[in-house]
Amino acid sequence: TPADNWNLSHWVVNGEEAGSATSLSLTLNADTDVVAVFLINQYEVTLQAEPAEGAAALSGEGAYEHGAVAQFAAHPAPGYIFLYWKDHNTIVSTNPGMQLAITKDQNLTAWFTEHSYEVELAVYPADAGTVSGAGVYGANTEVTVQAEPADEWQFSYWALVAGEEEEPVSNESEFTFVLSGNILLVAYFEPFVFTPTLEVSLEGNGNTMPEPGIYTFTQGEEVVLTATAEEGWEFVKWIVNGEDN
């Protein structure tokens, strides 16, 4: 007789299987070795989604031994959010990543519903640039927002605003994310600062001031260059950006 949650698999008599009936009749004419083999109960768990198009993926379906703790996961498709797991008409969890001790065959249903969220965008300073991508999108949709600086400005970063708190989320002007709630993003810009470079080189024998090399200056700064030929050489010309000067 099996204990609770176990079942008789078969009998083994003198090393050979002798059926799986709960009663076994033997005629004993010699020493006999009898073994009753029991196995723990196994159960089948199947998964489905309602509606079917609401699920991107479900995981955890399969066979489990009695008492095994199974891990299930429900991933909503774009435009949907997860509601709960149901076993027939009973809600067993509101967590999309659910653990459940298996004690019977079960058909679990992951329920989803269509849902949408709003993406709001702002610019700081107000006239420093423009943004695009604001609107209403389905939940779990991949959304791309873009920021374009105005003249004499450059993009700095995107910040996520939550109440009084702000969190930088991207340094790229084109930012893509998966939408999981209403969201406010601020595109921050900063004044464009041009730092011109000057590369000085020479041909022939002579010296320049400043010496040959690469230098940086502030925009609008005036630079004076001087050239001095060595003995036996004479200065001919400057070449600026490929043109004689």
Place of tokens 């969220």: 117
The closest alpha carbon to 54, from 97, 107, 96, 106, belongs to: 96
The verdict on whether omega for the bond into residue 125 sits within 30 degrees of 0, i.e. cis, is yes
pTM, full prediction: 0.58
Q: Give the helix ranges, DSSP H, for 23-109.
A: none
Q: 92: phi > 0 → left, psi -120 to 50 → alpha, else beta; which? A: alpha
DSSP state of 225: -
Distance, CA of 198 to CA of 177 (rounded, Å): 41
Q: How far apart are CA 229 and CA 202, in angstroms?
A: 10
Give the number of C-alpha atoms closer than 13 A to the C-alpha of residue 36, restricted to the C-beta side.
11
User: Under 8 Å CB-to-CB from 90, ≥6 apart: which residues?
Assistant: none
pLDDT of residue 14: 83
* Integer Cα distance of 102 and 94 in angstroms: 18
d(CA 129, CA 127): 6
Rounded mean pLDDT, 2-12 = 80
Give the residue-averaged pLDDT of 21-30: 78
**DSSP states of 171-185 as a string?**
SSSEEEEE--S-EEE
| Distance (Å) of CA 85 to CA 48, 91, 95, 124, 156 | 10, 6, 8, 44, 44
Task: Give the pLDDT confidence of 212-240 residue by residue, as tens digits.
Answer: 999 888 777 888 999 999 988 998 888 88
Chain segment 103-129, per-residue pLDDT in tens? 999 999 999 999 999 999 999 999 999
pLDDT for residue 47 is more than 90: yes
pLDDT of the residue at 121: 98
